[in-house]
Amino acid sequence: MSQNQPKKILVAGGGGFIGGHLAGSLLAQGHEVVVADVKQLDKWYQVHEGAQNHVVNLEEKEACYTVMEGCDEVYNLACNMGGMGFIEFNRALCMISVLINTHLLMAARDQGVKGFFYASSACVYPDYRQDDADVMALKESDAYPAQPEDGYGWEKLFSERMCQNFREDFGSNVRVFRFHNVYGPFGTWTGGREKAPAALCRKVIEAVDTGNHDIEIWGDGEQTRSFMYIDDCLSGMARLMESSYTDPLNLGRAELVSINGLLDIIEGIAGITLKRNYDLSKPQGVRGRNSDNALIQSTLGWEPEVNLATGLEKTYRWIEEQYERRKRGEIVVD
Ligand code: NAD
């Protein structure tokens, strides 16, 4: 699937964080871009003037067929999701997103779409491989025997398999990445769906602003993760679409950090040290998770490269700007 010729491309979920960045990048490359999202336009992180923007519910089959008309490629980044605070308490809502990928796959098959991308997640990996903070990085084959995150992880694993089955039975040209936590500007930073990097940036900004130097951490702060900056996510997707690799592949940065370590970096950016209060009753997810990048290295000859300090600086500054704008009474997307 060459990225060089101009194509008509659907970005499903393009009102969201990753989809908004992807739509901008595809437009900059000269493609015709159709963006579809269920949220009203004023809730989109980025609205690109040059794209055809549609507010539609992609759980509905007809909507998928309509917005995909004439498209050469489809990127499915649409789903009902959030950080641990959201997915642990909204399992059924997460499962319903299976309708989005199912109907998009059917429309792509019936309309002769040449390339289909599905955004899976590291939440497909079994809990039993992630119960130690000192983790063995997860390789793709570790997804089985399956015991993913209840709700969200099962939906992702099922949808991955459906992509695989569509490829085998109908010849659909699918690509699947298992994203490990992605962060960056123009994403959820408040309101309950935000993930750790954005949540901690916001809490530190609040502490700087209010002078209240206590900070609440979910769990004991020793749980570990890896975090990938949005630029690496876009770069990875472009490389995967160019490649002929069709099985699910990790896309994550292999720089393991504890939540305490993440906060250390953010405190360094803000030039502040806060008093940490650990709330063990809050959702923490798995104990440790990292991405094994051997397969992406051997298939794409590349792996995510932006280090945390660089990516967090940019993310912190963007959230700080949103925080200031909201304080001035301006309407900002959360
Ligand atoms: P996001 O929540 O910012 O974007 C998802 C978008 O999908 C939202 O704008 C939402 O309104 C839209 N959507 C939800 N239901 C819809 C529907 N019925 N019809 C149309 N649009 C609908 O999330 P994101 O961080 O941009 O994630 C994009 C994809 O990547 C998702 O599939 C997510 O599971 C996956 N992923 C993200 C991360 C991460 O760290 N951000 C990690 C792993 C996987």
Active site residue 152: yes
174 CB less than 6 Å from ligand 1? no
295, part of any domain: no
- 87 with 13, same domain? yes
Q: Are residues 158 and 276 in the same domain?
A: no
64 and 152 together in one domain: yes
CB of 72 closer than 6 angstroms to any ligand 1 atom: no
Range of the domain at 277: 196-225+256-290+307-327
Using N-to-C axis directions, what is the helix angle for 17-28 and 230-242, rounded to 10°?
Answer: 60
Considering the domain architecture, whether residues 166 and 26 belong to the same structural domain is answered as yes
Please identify, by atom number, the ligand 1 atom nearest to the C-alpha of residue 20.
Answer: 26
Number of folded domains that form the chain:
2
- For residue 318, the domain's CATH number is 3.90.25.10
Give the distance between the most distant pair of CA atoms in the chain: 60
pLDDT in tens, 169-189: 999 999 999 999 999 999 999
Low-confidence ranges of the chain (pLDDT < 50): none
Distance CA 163, CA 183 (A): 26
Instruction: Decide whether any atom of ligand 1 lies within 6 Å of the 229 Cβ.
Output: no
From the list 45, 152, 229, 316, the catalytic residue is 152
The mean pLDDT of the chain is 95
What pLDDT does residue 32 have?
98
Query: What pLDDT does residue 284 have?
Result: 80
Q: What residues contact 134, with CB distance under 8 A and at least 6 apart?
A: 224, 288
Which protein residue has the closest C-alpha to ligand 1 atom 9?
Answer: 16
Ligand 1 atom, smallest distance to 120 CA: 44
Give yes or no: residues 151 and 59 share one domain: yes
Looking at residue 1, its pLDDT comes to: 53
Q: Which residue has the tokens 């085998």?
A: 168
211 CA from centroid of ligand 1 (Å): 34
333 closest CA partner among 324, 322, 320: 322
Establish whether residue 60 lines the binding site of ligand 1, counting it when its CB lies within 6 angstroms of any ligand atom.
no
pLDDT at position 84 = 74
Closest ligand 1 atom number to CA of residue 82:
2
Q: What are phi and psi of 9, to 5 degrees?
A: -130, 130
Determine if ligand 1 sits within 6 Å of the CB of residue 252.
Answer: no
Clarify whether residues 238 and 280 are in a common domain: no
**Where is 103: in which H helix or E strand?**
helix 98-110
How many C-beta atoms lie closer than 10 Å to residue 106's C-beta?
17
Q: How many CB atoms lie within 10 A of CB 332?
A: 14
Judge if 38 and 84 occupy the same domain.
Answer: yes
Query: Is residue 94 a part of any domain in this protein?
Result: yes
Look up the pTM and report it.
Answer: 0.95
Report yes or no on 48 lying in a domain: yes
Residue 302 lies in a domain: no
pLDDT in tens, 197-206: 999 999 999 9
Please compute, for residue 118, the number of CA atoms within 13 A of its CA located in the half-sphere on the CB side. Answer: 32
| Same domain, yes or no: 128 and 215 | no
